[in-house]
Chains A and B, each alone.
Chain A
Amino acid sequence: MSTTSDKPSAKQKKRVPAIEGWIDIDPANPRLVGYKDDASGTYFFPKDVSIARAPGFSDTPLREVRLSNRGKLWSYTTNYYKPPEPAIAKDPFVPYTVAAVELTEERMVILGQLADGVDPKSITVGQEMELTLATLYEDDEHEYVVWKWKPVAA
């Protein structure tokens, strides 16, 4: 997080994923980066090992794919206490909601925070959700971007 005196003060910060390799942060079409084992038809997110974690398929190659950006709300919960480190909480703290969304095509549930400004009292299990991006934290040069879930506009 170095600062240099000749840096233009109004310089736009570079947006980068908060974790390398998990998110395609193309603002027009944000996607989670998953992997598919074509032999079993199974998707993986995140990539934690280099092999397909399906029994009997550890020799089949994984192909990088963009996961679909829509699914159904599996559940959600709003947290009213500041989480411990290494969590990054707003200062002053405000309650935040974590949502679990089941991607229809990939048949997997993925957690993400609910997008800011969405009232958690307005959502219900089973409704259609879509992926969006938000800044998790920033330093002098970068905005670190994470995925969030929001309801599909009616």
Chain B
Amino acid sequence: MSRNEVAILGAGMHPWGKWGKNFVEYGVVALKAAIKDAGIEWKDVDFVVGGDTMRNGYPGYVAGATFAKAMGWTGIPIASCYAACATGAQAIEIARTRILAGMAQVAVVVGADTTPKGFLAPNKGERTLDPDWLRFRLLSATNPTYFGLYAQRRMDLYGATEQDFARIKVKNSKHGFSNPNARYRQIYTEAEVLASPLVAAPLRLFEICATSDGGAALVLCSMEYAKKKGIAKPVRISAVSTVSPTFPNTVIDMPDFSTDSAAGIAAPERTFKDSISWAAYREAGVDPSDVNVAEVYDLSSALELDWYENIGLCKQGEAEGLLRSGATEIGGRVPVNPSGGLSCFGEAVPAQAIAQVCELTWQLRGTAGERQVAGAKVGITANQGLFGHGSSVLCTR
């Protein structure tokens, strides 16, 4: 097993929604909940990492400081980081490595966001050197455009159907129905999903994740500290993967116009998305077949199928079969997105990867209530941030 373990002492969230408040408020609520859950005081914390938000001005760019100030300055070191959708995993990794280096005992990780309505759009101005701006200007390539490309490819290559994509939405809507932190708590039928308007064919409105307000936080500590607190069997973070692609990256990624060329240098053994969780499995010494529960980034319903393969739950081209078998529903062999996933949450960018780990914490403790995956001992999260940010956290108990 992994020698790089830290304990998860506490987890907390502010419910996802469109609350229209300052992001700091969501972060503080989540942080206080995590600290209470950990059974410690704010004054016990000796390191803070904030996941940055790009949509809320300067306080969002220095989120670590913003949250530390809001909780009351205690003079401790702080860090802030941004890695798009992978921000939370990177924040966790910064805290974990500092704990493993012996430079912190109790660290908190917190991310929160307040988002505008509608499509995520690039920053303003004539930004002709920014590929994120140019993909909108030259191609009208929105985020759902990329999700649509992946979904259509599955249909043409692997026989995925619109019913498969709808089935994932239905599954996740059932999972998230009882989750008090979920924004959308409504059970859908396949017919309802298939009646929603097309956005980026073959994907429909109910199959594409919204943007949400929300906040999530974790209290991490050294294994010794957990022992001193009398917690014999804490949920542990056994691995964190924040890998980047290996050249040539041959699968088109948001927000790029093109892949790398594989004409000169052979493509790596694993695609970037395959390499993300592989690094976590390798670090933890865990096999994909050991996984009991997974939280993956269902930016679209169809993307969840890609993740089944990327995290090794099945081979390439077999995700539709795994889904249809019921294995990924609660009660199945390896439930995926028991929280309800992005389908029920919508994305609060810097909070989302932290929220995935909050869910695993509750699942592995056995305190997830109606959405509990029975007997879960090993869980993995997977996610990918714009511009080459891998994100995977492997938890064990």
Contacts and interface: CB of A to CB of B under 8 A. Distances in A.
B201 A110 contact: no
A33 interface: no
B264 to A, nearest CB: 3
Nearest to B145: A98
B264 A41 contact: yes
Contacts of B141: 98, 111
Given A77-B201, A120-B201, A125 B152 contact: yes
A42 interface: yes
Interface stretch (B131-139, B174-182, B279-287, B322-330): B131-139
A100 B252 contact: yes
B101 interface: no
Contacts of A75: 149-150, 152-153, 156
Nearest to B204: A80
B258 A111 contact: yes
B252 A106 contact: no
A51 interface: no
Contacts of A124: 156
A48 interface: yes
B153 A108 contact: no
Interface string A60-95: 000000000000001111111101111111000000
B258 A46 contact: yes
Nearest to A103: B261
Nearest to A109: B259
A88 B257 contact: no
B252 A74 contact: yes
Nearest to B142: A83
Query: Size class of B's contact patch?
Result: 35 or more
Given A78-B201, A108-B259, A98 B247 contact: no
B197 interface: yes
Contacts of A125: 152-153, 156-157
B16 to A, nearest CB: 22
Which among A48, A76, A80 has the greatest number of chain B C-beta atoms within 10 A? A80
B252 A111 contact: yes
A54 B257 contact: no
Interface string B339-375: 0000000000000000000000000000000000000
Interface residues of A, number: 47
Nearest to A48: B131
Nearest to A46: B257
B187 to A, nearest CB: 25
A79 B144 contact: yes
Given A54-B264, A105-B263, A126-B156, A80 B257 contact: no
Contact of B136 (A40, A84, A146): A84
A107 interface: yes
A54 B263 CA distance: 12
Nearest to B118: A84
A104 to B, nearest CB: 10
Contact of B265 (A40, A81, A96): A40
A16 interface: no
Contact of A55 (B140, B148, B247): B247
Contacts of B250: 107-109
B289 interface: no
Given A54-B247, A54-B265, A111 B198 contact: no
B138 A108 contact: no
B321 interface: no
B140 A113 contact: yes
A100 B146 CA distance: 10
Contact of B263 (A43, A55, A76, A89): A43
Nearest to B125: A86
The winner among A18, A106, A108, A136 for most chain B CB atoms within 10 A is A108
15 contacts: A41-B264, A42-B248, A54-B264, A75-B152, A77-B145, A77-B151, A79-B200, A79-B201, A83-B136, A85-B121, A86-B126, A109-B251, A109-B252, A109-B259, A111-B256
Interface of B: 118-119, 121-122, 126, 128, 131, 133-142, 144-145, 147-153, 156-157, 197-203, 247-248, 250-252, 256-265
Given A41-B265, A77-B145, 15 more contacts: A19-B138, A40-B265, A42-B261, A54-B248, A75-B156, A77-B147, A77-B201, A79-B142, A80-B201, A83-B119, A86-B137, A98-B139, A100-B149, A107-B262, A124-B156
Interface of A: 18-19, 37, 40-46, 48, 53-55, 74-81, 83-89, 96, 98, 100, 105-113, 120, 124-126, 136, 146
Shortest beta-carbon contacts, A-B, top 6: A77-B148, A41-B264, A125-B156, A42-B264, A84-B121, A75-B153
